[in-house]
Amino acid sequence: MKASFKKYDLHFKQPSGTSRGVLKIKETYFIIIEKEGKIGYGETGLFRGLSVDDRPDYEVNLKWACDHIHLGLEALLLEFLEFPSIQFGLEQAFLSLESENGFDLFPSKFSRGEALIPINGLIWMGSETFMSKQIEEKLEAGFSTIKMKIGAIDFDAEIKLLGAIRSRYTRQEITLRVDANGAFKSENALRKLERLAMLGIHSIEQPIKQGQLSEMTQLCDKTPVPIALDEELIGVFKYEQKEALLRRINPQYIILKPSLIGGFQGTNEWIEIAERLKIKYWVTSALESNIGLNAISQYTYTLGVDMPQGLGTGSLFTNNIESPLEVINGHIQYNTNLRWKINI
């Protein structure tokens, strides 16, 4: 068995804005394992500026993992505890190598094309006109859950955009989620949450920056809008630390991004703790190519989820890996009539 890695830059069809800046290119890496004529692919979904393993020695560690692939998955996952995206890529690559066709990582009705997963439609930050245009496109495409990134333009303008949706559609017709990516200041976050609550917002992701544990705990206790922890989970490696964090903050939801929290093994730990503490969750991709998105989608279906997940990022890039994944009427599906075209 031998392994190698390759860097791959995903190019956005149009610059996509968040409170952390505008994204034009998303760097990613692929691990390729070869054994007895079979090939396994895994994506290490590094996210510059967000991943805890965004370090100068990232490629050195990725090479070490490939050079020591003979150690096996279990040993490598322990070795790379502080490199969650490498853990995620290794898990995929080994599952891919063991699968019949290289891509059926979690065989199910979803991977057989017999079931769909509901997803939210993502609205990127930009001008009021640009965001309004995106909203119309998502509604026309049949999405019943809209997630809007907020915190980069004037808050009043964002309230206006959300209000325009709510004036046309009731909470039962359209579910509205927002993602602040930590953009709110702790001293005025509650006031902003109160304004959002008037619009029947389903939830808000990471209203204030991660690491403000006392402030986030108070917000989750007083908030009129359910809070979902996102960035707060990044860099929390040990099971005991995960449980302590959720017990202290006691959020209404957590957002699970396998690339950022230790792959499927790390995600399973968060789920086990959250379910025990009666905290709800959903799974979200983190701008992976279709290789990583396929793995996350197949895994997510096995969880038996029913609320819309955050798996609609595959269509953002001009040079994504061609795959059977499709977004149809607010759902993601695996169209078995389509084929993978690996060009990495």
Domain boundaries, the chain: 2-98, 117-334
* DSSP structural state of residue 233: G
Q: For residues 148 and 168, what is the distance between their CA atoms, to the nearest angstrom?
A: 17
pLDDT at 71: 98
φ, ψ of residue 315 to 5 degrees: the values are -90, 10
Report, as ranges of residue numbers, the positions in the chain whose pLDDT lies below 50: none
pLDDT at 15: 75
pLDDT at 17: 65
pLDDT at 319: 95
pLDDT at 63: 98
Q: For residues 227 and 49, what is the distance between their CA atoms, to the nearest angstrom?
A: 23
CATH architecture of 2-98: 2-Layer Sandwich (3.30)
pLDDT at 321: 96
Domain 117-334: give its CATH superfamily: Enolase-like C-terminal domain (3.20.20.120)
Q: For residues 28 and 44, what is the distance between their CA atoms, to the nearest angstrom?
A: 6
Nearest residue to 30 via CA among 237, 233, 295, 316: 295
Residues acting as catalytic residues: 149, 257
* DSSP structural state of residue 119: B
Q: What is the pTM of this model?
A: 0.95
